[in-house]
């Protein structure tokens, strides 16, 4: 396959796409770190609420709160791994001379469903603590 000549228009377009990929991975990192941070803080929030309101009957046990927190940390790490794979695929496709965009639609759907389900689970879990 003959390689197409390099021209400024194509190279600038690739640079814009690289910058977009970097912005996307930064956004995903923020979301994943927020999930991980919430998971770490979840047990502390539970303990603090139990100390402040010792007479209330808790909806969940301490062990359950710890499992929920570890679940958030685990899902944050899984989603972070998926984000890194998608970023790597995007960078590889930009580096190709024929610039064939590799499909990452399935990865996007997994991440979106994961983030939405974790957000809803976090809201529900937090509401049940009180």
Residue 48, domain member (yes or no): yes
Residue 2, domain member (yes or no): no
* pLDDT > 80? residue 7: no
Quote the number of domains for the chain.
1
> What pTM value is reported for the model?
0.67
- CA-wise closest residue to 25 among 87, 107, 114: 87
39 against 97, higher pLDDT: 39
Q: Which domain holds residue 47?
A: 8-129
Residue 1, domain member (yes or no): no
Token pair, residue 43, equals 């047990």
DSSP 20-64: HHHHHHHHHHHHHHHHHHHHHHHHHHHHHHHHH-TTSPPSS-HHH
**What local confidence, expressed as pLDDT, does residue 101 receive?**
60
pLDDT in tens, 54-73: 887 777 788 888 888 898 89
Q: How confident is the model at residue 30 (pLDDT cuts 50, 70, 90)?
A: very high
Token pair, residue 88, equals 């790597």
| DSSP secondary structure letter of residue 98 | T
Residue 105, domain member (yes or no): yes
Residue 39, domain member (yes or no): yes
Residue 3, domain member (yes or no): no
């Amino acid at each position: 396959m003959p390689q197409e000549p390099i021209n400024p228009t194509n190279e600038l377009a690739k640079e814009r796409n690289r910058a977009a990929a970097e912005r996307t991975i930064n956004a995903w990192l923020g979301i994943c770190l927020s999930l991980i941070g919430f998971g770490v803080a979840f047990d502390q929030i539970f303990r603090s609420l139990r100390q402040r309101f010792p007479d209330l009957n808790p909806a969940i046990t301490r062990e359950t709160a710890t499992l929920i927190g570890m679940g958030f940390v685990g899902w944050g790490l899984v989603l972070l791994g998926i984000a890194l794979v998608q970023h790597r695929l995007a960078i590889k496709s930009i580096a190709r001379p024929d610039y064939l965009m590799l499909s990452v639609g399935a990865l996007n759907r997994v991440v979106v469903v994961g983030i939405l389900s974790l957000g809803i689970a976090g809201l529900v879990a937090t509401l049940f603590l009180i």
